[in-house]
Amino acid sequence: MSPSSTPYFLTTPIYYVNDSPHIGHAYTSLACDVIARFLRSEGSEVMFLTGTDEHGQKVEKSAKQHNLDPQKFVDEVSKRFRKLSELMDFSNDDFIRTTEARHIKSCQALWKRISDGKTPNGQDSNIYLGKYDGWYSVRDEAFYDESELIKDTKNPSNYLAPTGASVEWVEEPSYFFRLSAWQDKLLEFYENNPEFVAPQSRRNEVISFVKGGLRDLSISRTSFSWGIPVPDDDSHIMYVWLDALTNYITGINFPEITSDKWNKYWPASLHMVGKDILRFHAVYWPAFLMSAGIEPPQRVFAHGWWTNEGQKISKSLGNVIDPEVIVRKYGVDAVRYFLLREVPFGNDGYFSHASMVTRINKDLANDFGNLAQRVLSMISKNFEGVIPYPQKNAECNFKSFETLSLSQNLLSKVSPLIHKQAFNEALDRIWEVVREANRSIDKDEPWKLKKKNKSGMGTILWLQAETIRNLAIILKPFMPQSMDRLLDQLNIPLDERNIVNLHEDNEGDICQKYSLRPDSKLPKPVAIFPKYICEFED
């Protein structure tokens, strides 16, 4: 039934705790949450990891600005990211913090494995001590080559990182990772694993970056101390990206590589990231792992960037979209739906309140909400709230019967789309059936059968209610709270709300095998998606 019943391990980036969470962080974690819920619903074992990135110069600087000791500071800010998980209803199985003892142990163990190993020529060690002279951006926590810098248009004598972040000159002793030696192995890996980087356009970028030649990477710092000490040389702390990437293996028990969790979940099925941090995940991370004799992850998906009404989201522009504010305004499920429906996953998105309200009123209230409301209130008014018993298949020539079939075939279309992170297309397929269901009620006109063919009317309503049940189960990973409220209204038992409870054919006695039970008395219908009425300012 499920395309993959092998265990599935997926991760979000771990977020820097220099700032409060915003809509961009919520977006990446939401995408993972939908996949995690969907696969669990299909019957797979899933491990969904998120957390916070708490070391490095950027975080240390922020703590100083707040006049707080870094540990106190990260303890506070990390809580806001945990709250984001609650607010957005994320179902992560673990929340990792890079200041935890388990992570420090894991980073030092990985470092040792890398430094004990040799480069592919079998002669050089992967790590050597040298001196870094070059540019560093604290905002990006990244080293830049002079040739990558761009002129600052506001101050032409100044240079910036290609991301627009300011850079500073750094000269300090540093350990280096011999990345240059892993170039061919990386290219071979991409060649043999065409699905490793998605979308395809990002894969091409990664390959051409690596083909352009790789320089050895500085992996330790000495000019500040907020980080994990390098094993056997605590005058150095690890480069924050080596520390951060390691969270993915800490989360499944590294260095306990004989543990069940490790064996079950590594290599990771999917690292979900924004396009800004693809290079770290698709180049440095597999190289670190290969050099430590560990298999690289299976896939890295780099999604697009949200702007606020077309403007880059940034604290200095004062246009940060606070997830708490929009969830309070529109409701958590409407926000979840909007973010994954509005743009093809992988493309950039344009957040605007106007498009949010259009989605709520059109897709949620008019299409799906209306479908549920019509069917449930007709059952309530005409059958005293008791689900009618349908006629046998042979007697059914209602359009609603075809719609039920469409809803039964929907999973085979939606599941592969979720497995390739095509959320927007998946929702599109689901909405085709929602709209078809509304059309079929209009065509069947059950209200006209009230007097002359009550059992026909009951059959139509049963077929529609069963269609709604199927839709709600498939949509539940996207909008868990509202779909649960809808399934409550259909009296579907809690343990029958999963994809494994869907049925794929109409043969035989149609009601026997379904969990929508005729004769079941339903609660009074309540609208699940009310229209959003815009407040106009005076």
Q: What is the dihedral of CA 492, 493, 494, 498, to 10 degrees?
A: -60
Contact 410, 430 (CB under 8 A): yes
Contact 13, 28 (CB under 8 A): yes
Judged by beta carbon, residue 251 or residue 390, the one nearer ligand ME8 is 251
> What is the Cα–Cα distance from 71 to 484, expressed in whole angstroms?
40
Which segment (66-74, 104-112, 268-276, 405-413) binds ligand ME8 by CB under 6 A?
A: 268-276
The answer to whether residue 59 forms part of the interface with ligand ME8 (CB under 6 A) is: no
The β-bridge relationship of strands 127-137 and 220-221 is unpaired
The answer to whether residue 297 forms part of the interface with ligand ME8 (CB under 6 A) is: no
- C-alpha 19: how far from chain center: 20
Among 276, 395, 442, 505, binds ligand ME8 (CB under 6 A): 276
Judged by beta carbon, residue 164 or residue 385, the one nearer ligand ME8 is 164
# of chain residues touching ligand ME8 (CB under 6 A): 19
The answer to whether residue 363 forms part of the interface with ligand ME8 (CB under 6 A) is: no
Q: Give the nearest distance from C-beta 229 to ligand ME8 in angstroms.
A: 19
**Ramachandran region of residue 232, left (φ > 0), alpha (ψ -120 to 50) or beta?**
left
> What is the Cα–Cα distance from 106 to 250, expressed in whole angstroms?
6
The answer to whether residue 423 forms part of the interface with ligand ME8 (CB under 6 A) is: no
> What is the Cα–Cα distance from 113 to 91, expressed in whole angstroms?
33
The answer to whether residue 277 forms part of the interface with ligand ME8 (CB under 6 A) is: yes
Which segment (172-180, 269-277, 370-378, 487-495) binds ligand ME8 by CB under 6 A?
A: 269-277
Judged by beta carbon, residue 343 or residue 411, the one nearer ligand ME8 is 343
Judged by beta carbon, residue 285 or residue 532, the one nearer ligand ME8 is 285
Which residues neighbour 274 within 8 Å (Cβ) at sequence distance 6 or greater? 13, 24, 28, 302, 303, 304, 305
End-to-end CA separation in angstroms for the chain: 56
Residue owning tokens 């079929």: 440
176 phi and psi angles, rounded to 5 deg:
-120, 145
Q: Give the nearest distance from C-beta 267 to ligand ME8 in angstroms.
A: 16
Q: Give the nearest distance from C-beta 211 to ligand ME8 in angstroms.
A: 24
The answer to whether residue 306 forms part of the interface with ligand ME8 (CB under 6 A) is: yes
The answer to whether residue 274 forms part of the interface with ligand ME8 (CB under 6 A) is: yes
Which segment (72-80, 273-281, 286-294, 429-437) binds ligand ME8 by CB under 6 A?
A: 273-281
What is the DSSP secondary structure assignment for residue 297, as one 8-state letter?
P
Residue owning tokens 């579907």: 492
What distances in angstroms separate CA 348 from CA 16, 23, 310, 312, 339, one per listed residue?
A: 21, 13, 10, 11, 11
The answer to whether residue 24 forms part of the interface with ligand ME8 (CB under 6 A) is: yes
The answer to whether residue 53 forms part of the interface with ligand ME8 (CB under 6 A) is: yes
Judged by beta carbon, residue 88 or residue 528, the one nearer ligand ME8 is 88
What distances in angstroms separate CA 34 from CA 336, 410, 488, one per listed residue?
A: 9, 17, 21
Q: Give the nearest distance from C-beta 88 to ligand ME8 in angstroms.
A: 13
The answer to whether residue 273 forms part of the interface with ligand ME8 (CB under 6 A) is: yes
Q: What is the CA radius of gyration of the chain?
A: 27
Q: Give the nearest distance from C-beta 121 to ligand ME8 in angstroms.
A: 29
The answer to whether residue 346 forms part of the interface with ligand ME8 (CB under 6 A) is: no
Contact 87, 233 (CB under 8 A): no
Judged by beta carbon, residue 349 or residue 369, the one nearer ligand ME8 is 349
Among 165, 207, 257, 313, binds ligand ME8 (CB under 6 A): 313
String of DSSP letters for 383-400: STTBPPPPPPGGG---HH
Contact 8, 45 (CB under 8 A): yes
195-213 residues labelled b (16+ CB within 10 A) or e (exposed): ebbbbeebbebbbeebeee
Q: Give the nearest distance from C-beta 141 to ligand ME8 in angstroms.
A: 7
Closest CA to 9 of 261, 285, 246: 261
The answer to whether residue 15 forms part of the interface with ligand ME8 (CB under 6 A) is: yes
Which segment (66-74, 220-228, 241-249, 395-403) binds ligand ME8 by CB under 6 A?
A: 241-249
Among 8, 9, 10, 13, binds ligand ME8 (CB under 6 A): 13
Judged by beta carbon, residue 245 or residue 340, the one nearer ligand ME8 is 245
Q: Give the nearest distance from C-beta 66 to ligand ME8 in angstroms.
A: 17
Q: In the stretch 246-265, what mask flags binding to ligand ME8 with x, by CB under 6 A?
A: -x------------------
Judged by beta carbon, residue 25 or residue 336, the one nearer ligand ME8 is 25
Q: Give the nearest distance from C-beta 519 to ligand ME8 in angstroms.
A: 49
Site residues (CB under 6 A) for ligand ME8? Answer: 13-16, 24-25, 27-28, 53, 244-245, 247, 273-274, 276-277, 305-306, 313
